[in-house]
Structure 1
Amino acid sequence: MNTYSNLTAQAERIDLAAAFRWTARLAMHEAVANHFSLAINPAGTRFLINPNGRHFSRITASSLVEIDADDPATLARPDAPDPTAWGLHGAIHRACPHARCAMHVHSVHATVLASLADSRLPAIDQNTAMFHNRLAVDDHFGGMAFEAEGARCATLLADPAITTLVMGNHGVLIIGRTVAETFNRLYYFERAAETYIRALQTGRPLRVLPDDIAEKTAREWETYPGFADAHLSELKAILDHEDPAYAS
């Protein structure tokens, strides 16, 4: 590996560690469950993931575990990931090379949405519009995300246009090309779900955007120059000042 690749690999570890730390600050984590992963080879099958049982607020760049989705002996390793992390993220990185980064949480509003009989997210503002025609809903929860359940969920992300999977009765899974893109999407999905749920609580009719305007807005989000990178860069700047150990 050349010097540039070494620097790139370290930068990606730092980005992922920052995403863990900030997710904990937003209280979008759950105990020592939930996992983020990032592919590090062209095929997408080798990836970084959080170590088993480590709280999001204690993740560091160096503590991330590198595993191979095609290695059946992974769970026998001394540093084996959580079995559900292997089941879900291993399946995604094995089957969906376009999903370079995957973030799965049971955040409050996303999980409330996943618990509704209709877990679709209508475009009622510009944040909800970000996910217009880019969201799939899994209506067939089959238990915890061990290998069979993970493989089934991965099939729902086969279309590269789908960036977000509402896992019915479970939570949400977000994919993207980079840590910045995926975390930004995760942040906005939780905000969008909260807006929708609070709107439902009023009992008043929703002002749903026309499909063409919702699609236009979603595309504008996708092409907004540098927004996701700037978001993560600012979060890292705050962490560098307040909690620099994340990058170690």
Structure 2
Amino acid sequence: MQHGNLSHWNERVDLAAAFRWTARLNMHESVANHFSLAINDDGTRFLMNPNQMHFSRIKASDLIVVDANDPETLQGPDAPDPTAWGLHGGIHRHVPHARCAMHVHSIFATVLASLADSNLPPIDQNCCTFFNRYVIDDGYGGLAFEDEGARCAALFTDPAKRVMIMGNHGVLVIGDTIADTFNRMYYFERAAETYIRALQTGQPLRVLPDDIAEKTAQELESYPEQDARHLAELKTILDSEGSDYAA
């Protein structure tokens, strides 16, 4: 389906659904935070949410196209948030395997990012998903303008590591598709919540051995179509409620 002159319509619909559900899960941050999707081969052109529009009302037709190589990007009425330009522009310029990027300040991921030790031990199946598959940024340098965005992008050197625990900041998740990235972001927040709540009990943690954690992570990575089915179900729920996300 094509909608007027707007290209990449199916991707726009998927991204709008991801915004709506992220707000429903209370993983958004007022009118901040951003999702982006590369729409050309080298990733320098990408879809992104408009500057300071609440996730709960973003529609497919609202998404803007940003050109990471255009020096005029921050001018004009459709200019992106400068921190979104810095972080997502840096990711899409320097990390070719990051076709989609989602950055949130969700509560439990941000609590994890605020700990002196921000590692996520494999204490349950969700935590195992991320075993040896995240990087920790311990060099927070302020708002994510261009220098900070480039610095963060440089940490994604291992293609297997697709979550950045942004120390003192939040989380940045990358992936191949919208469904892949949203699913990873969702499960990372669930894993972080389990870990934080387990710490709150004050009891010793039951940490799985490395070999079992790795085996579980590989099994989850090869689980068929779970990410696509997850997003499809969310869209079906939104459709049944009469949501205008796909407008």
Q: TM-score range by the shorter chain?
A: over 0.9
Q: CA deviation at 1:242?
A: 1.0
- Kindly report structure 1 stretches of 4+ aligned residues shifted beyond 6 Å: none
For 1:66 and 1:107, how far apart are their aligned partners in 2? 25
Contact 1:95 1:158 in 2 (8 A): no
For 2:6 and 2:133, how far apart are their aligned partners in 1? 33
For residues 40-119 of structure 1, the aligned pairs below 5 Å read 40-119=39-118
Q: Which structure 2 residue ranges, 5 or more long, are not aligned?
A: none
| Partner deviation per Cα, 1:22-60 (whole Å, 9 max, x = no partner) | 000000001000000000111111100000010000111
For 1:8 and 1:68, how far apart are their aligned partners in 2? 15
Match of 1:34 in 2: 33
Tell me which amino acid in the other structure corresponds to 2:188. Answer: F
RMSD (Å) for aligned C-alpha atoms: 1.3
Q: CA deviation at 1:181?
A: 0.6
Q: CA deviation at 1:61?
A: 0.5
For 1:148 and 1:7, how far apart are their aligned partners in 2? 31
Match of 2:231 in 1: 232
Q: Which structure 1 residue ranges, 5 or more long, are not aligned?
A: none
The SS at the match of 2:218 is helix
Q: Which moved more, 1:165-174 or 1:199-208?
A: 199-208
Considering fraction of residues, name the structure with more helix: 1
Tell me which amino acid in the other structure corresponds to 1:229. Answer: A
For 2:243 and 2:123, how far apart are their aligned partners in 1? 38
| Partner deviation per Cα, 1:161-202 (whole Å, 9 max, x = no partner) | 111000000000000000001000111011000000011111
Tell me which amino acid in the other structure corresponds to 1:107. Answer: S
For 1:172 and 1:196, how far apart are their aligned partners in 2? 15
For 2:172 and 2:242, how far apart are their aligned partners in 1? 27
**Do structure 1's residue 16 and structure 2's residue 51 form an aligned pair?**
no
Match of 1:128 in 2: 127
The SS at the match of 1:140 is coil
Match of 1:162 in 2: 161
Contact 2:6 2:61 in 1 (8 A): no
Tell me which amino acid in the other structure corresponds to 2:41. Answer: P
Contact 1:28 1:108 in 2 (8 A): yes
